[in-house]
Amino acid sequence: MSGTGSSWTPLARRVLPAMRAWRTAIHQEPELSLGEVKTREKIVAALREMGIPYHTFDDFPGVVGFIDADRPGPVVALRADMDGLPVTEETGLPFASNFPGQMHACGHDVHMACLLGAAAMLTREPRSKGGPIRLLFQPAEEEGRVGGAEPLIARGCLDRPKVSYVVGQHVDPSLPLGRVGWRAGSFMAAADHFRLVVRGRGGHAATPHQGPDAILVASEIVTGLQALVSRVRDPLDPVVVSVGSIHGGTRNNILPDEVVLEGTVRTLRAPTRDLLERAFRRRVRAIATSLGARVRISYLRGYPPLVNDPAVTRVVASALGVELGGRSVVEVEHPLMGAEDFSRYLERVPGTFLRLGVGIPGRPASLHSSTFAPDERALVLGAATLAAAADGLQRGPP
């Protein structure tokens, strides 16, 4: 509940026209990671209109807003990601992307509109309790390796004064519209990227014995990597190893000198992440050597596991239960093997990451697809969720 005893949800409904306009403008001009210049301009314009102080950076397209910066009390940071994806939109929306080959296919337009909506409510609504609110509009979540959270943290977004708690959310078509999902502890996976260059001996396909055959070696590696999942880690500790790209060869009767494989390794625990990298390198080299080939391994670590602080998560879940009703706030049963650079904030500040339900029966949807179009009713839920979470954390456990 807010400081005046009124619910955040009716306030969010009043802010819906503004959120709809923000979302429409942002969706029409999606920008890729670290190129979110027009997106930043739209966010800055909205913050100015609301009278919210903000900070931008000359070398980075992020925006940090400040509500009641000088108030005493715990500082709660609320985060929304800004970047779109290189996807050609096929939603048929009247406000579809005007940028060919670029689209908000992961709902970040919704995230930004919800955060602006929450900011509008937290600014207009008198709060009898609670400290400062920090608004983090973060680029480059989709970049996948360095991401945008780490550079924003390096530029001081969690400092002066130090942020006490951080909250984020992501639209989720697997949850029904009107539900918010939470989970204490391990919630999302680390995402590491590998690139393997297998070197064999090219030649005529009729004489493969003069090899080594790089395609055969690459095939053995693809198969052999699955033993890391089935025989190296604890079966109760989820791991995913996927090869998503294989390139090699030009014709049916020519054996190539080289085959390139790229893929991802997903883990939920830091010790398992270390174990898998060691085992991965050992397995790939052993397979290549046994078949007489050479292999160059590039193994790059991406976002770390996302681990929600249990105490913070329970306070937020309780606050949301009061705000939205217990049936609308659901515990997510299993961790997700997707990755999120919100994990970078959680390495430094206790906080929680939520799932915002956008699923509608009969309207199948998938993140990163050309037809992904969350219903605008999610804007009300998302804005109320962020405001209630911040209010609940500043008030403390019930």
Q: Which pLDDT value is given to residue 398?
A: 55
Q: Which residues are catalytically annotated?
A: 303, 376
Burial (Cβ within 10 Å: 0-12, 13-18, ≥19) of residue 251: exposed
Q: Which pLDDT value is given to residue 128?
A: 62
What is the assigned CATH class of domain 8-189+305-395? Answer: alpha beta
Positions of the chain with pLDDT lower than 70, given as ranges: 1-6, 128-129, 397-398
What is the assigned CATH class of domain 195-301? Answer: alpha beta
In this predicted model, what pLDDT tens digit does every residue of 82-140 receive, in sequence order?
999 999 999 999 999 999 999 999 999 999 999 999 999 999 877 766 899 999 999 99
**Domain residue ranges in the chain:** 8-189+305-395, 195-301
User: Rounded to whole angstroms, what are the CA distances from 22 to 17, 139, 252, 299?
Assistant: 9, 17, 53, 39
Is 204 in contact with 285 (CB distance < 8 Å)? no
If DSSP states are collapsed to H, E and C, what string results for the chain? CCCCCCCHHHHHHHHHHHHHHHHHHHHHCCCCCCCCHHHHHHHHHHHHHHCCCEEEECCEEEEEEEECCCCCCCCEEEEEECCCECCCCCCCCCCCCCCCCCECCCCHHHHHHHHHHHHHHHHHCCCCCCCCEEEEEECCHHHCCCCCHHHHHHCCCCCCCCCCEEEEEEEEEEEECCCEEECCEEEECEEEEEEEEEECCCEECCCHHHCCCHHHHHHHHHHHHHHHHHHCCCCCCCEEEEEEEEECCCCCCEECCEEEEEEEEEECCHHHHHHHHHHHHHHHHHHHHHCCCEEEEEEEECCCCEEECHHHHHHHHHHHHHHHCHHHEEECCCCECCCCCCHHHHCCCCEEEEEEEEEECCECCCCCCCCCCCCCHHHHHHHHHHHHHHHHHHHCCC
Q: Which pLDDT value is given to residue 125?
A: 78
In this predicted model, what pLDDT tens digit does every residue of 192-203 receive, in sequence order?
999 999 999 999
Tell me if the bond preceding 173 is cis, omega within 30° of 0: no
* Amino acid letter, 21: A
**CA 326 from chain center: how many Å?**
26
pTM as predicted: 0.94
Of 147, 123, 149, nearest to 136 (Cα)?
Answer: 149
